[in-house]
Amino acid sequence: MRIGELAAATSTTTKTLRFYEDSGLLPHAKRTAGGYRDYGREAIARLDFIRRGRAAGLTLAQIREVLDIRDAGTAPCRHVAELLDDRLSALDQQIADLQALRANVAHLRDDAAHANPAECEPEDVCRYL
Amino acid sequence: MRIGELAAATSTTTKTLRFYEDSGLLPHAKRTAGGYRDYGREAIARLDFIRRGRAAGLTLAQIREVLDIRDAGTAPCRHVAELLDDRLSALDQQIADLQALRANVAHLRDDAAHANPAECEPEDVCRYL
DNA sequence: ATGGACCTTCCAGTGCAGGAGAAGGTCAAG
DNA sequence: CTTGACCTTCTCCTGCACTGGAAGGTCCAT
């Protein structure tokens, strides 16, 4: 499989695949006589793994950590669970922050809606954020 | 108030304050005879506003949008309410996205937690992400 | 043998939110 | 009058995850 086919099969781009190789997420691909990268089908599974990790909000560095453990021949289940726990905490915090902000903005919006435009001072806009 | 005092009062840095001025988040400060920036107390309130927005995950561009409307001075409340409605919709979408992501990550994490490490083969790693 | 699709490497830029450090100016204390 | 803290502008650097483009090589059909 050449790089373009792999890119199409994984809904990504050749640029991204070369970038992943440079970043150590994909092993150095073997080459054809003409110097083209030649991928096996396992590359698709690896890229699906990377894609799922990205979708879960992991950084490429975190994904590489997991892949490195796997490539060393050890099962990274425990490590994956830890990474996901960290990610859950971060998400909970982020959600709580956004909900607090939403409440503030909603309050501010109500005030803006009910205020008499004639007596609406610019300074009032920022009272609640 | 000089830039260092303002930075200390708002738990930020002089670098950040100059960057905010360049970015249009802070107005051009008036200068002392020696060319130093000279801030009034209202700068602290403005930076607190920026800090709270940042803490809740807003971008500087989004914060600037709100500040620009305030700075227009003549900002009609109706217009502000419209802007805030847009912001509320965006926040609701963002919260919903994060909650969906959280559910996904929690599900993945549970799978990883219930796996028996002894029978977890390296090839299985993809199951958990 | 030629055209076009695809590939190669290398260099550079994007957007975000600043941070590092150089070269020099200002100000108050000793 | 000098020292040291603080300030000025300036240019470049950071990390993240790519993206774009130039210059050239390969492969396959016509």
Residues with Cβ within 8 Å of residue A89, at least 6 apart in sequence: none
Taking an 8 Å cut-off on Cβ atoms, the answer to whether A120 and B76 are in contact is: yes
| Residue whose CA lies closest to nucleotide D20 C1' | A15
- Share above pLDDT 70 across residues of chain A, in percent, rounded to a whole number: 84
Residue A125 pLDDT more than 50?
no
Query: What ranges do the domains of chain B cover?
Result: 1-56, 76-129
Alpha-carbon distance of B87 to A101, in angstroms, equals 10
Q: Given this model, what pLDDT does residue B102 score?
A: 83
The listed range with the strongest mean pLDDT (A16-25, A92-101, B60-69, B77-86) is A16-25
Q: Given this model, what pLDDT does residue B120 score?
A: 55
Contact assessment for residue B28 and residue B48, using Cβ atoms and an 8 Å cutoff: no
CATH dotted code for B1-56: 1.10.1660.10
Region A28-35: mean pLDDT is 96
Contact assessment for residue A127 and residue B82, using Cβ atoms and an 8 Å cutoff: no
Chain centroid, CA A49 distance in Å = 12
Q: Which residue would you say has higher pLDDT here, B69 or A7?
A: A7
Please report, in tens digits, the pLDDT of each residue of chain B (129 residues total).
Answer: 999 999 999 999 999 999 999 999 999 999 999 999 999 999 999 999 899 888 767 789 988 888 887 787 655 456 667 777 877 887 888 888 788 878 877 887 887 666 655 555 555 544 555
Residue A6 pLDDT more than 70?
yes
Amino acid letter, residue B124:
D
Number of residues written out for chain B = 129
Portion 51-90 of B in contact with A at CB < 8 A: 52-53, 55-58, 66-67, 69-78, 80-81, 84-85, 87-88
Q: Given this model, what pLDDT does residue B78 score?
A: 62
Q: Given this model, what pLDDT does residue A84 score?
A: 80
Residue A128 binned pLDDT confidence (cut-offs 50, 70, 90): very low
Nearest to B56 among A49, A100, A106 (CB): A100
Residue A126 binned pLDDT confidence (cut-offs 50, 70, 90): very low
Q: Given this model, what pLDDT does residue A33 score?
A: 95
Alpha-carbon distance of A111 to B59, in angstroms, equals 24
CATH topology of domain A1-57: Multidrug-efflux Transporter Regulator; Chain: A; Domain 2 (1.10.1660)
The two tokens of residue A54 are 């990205």
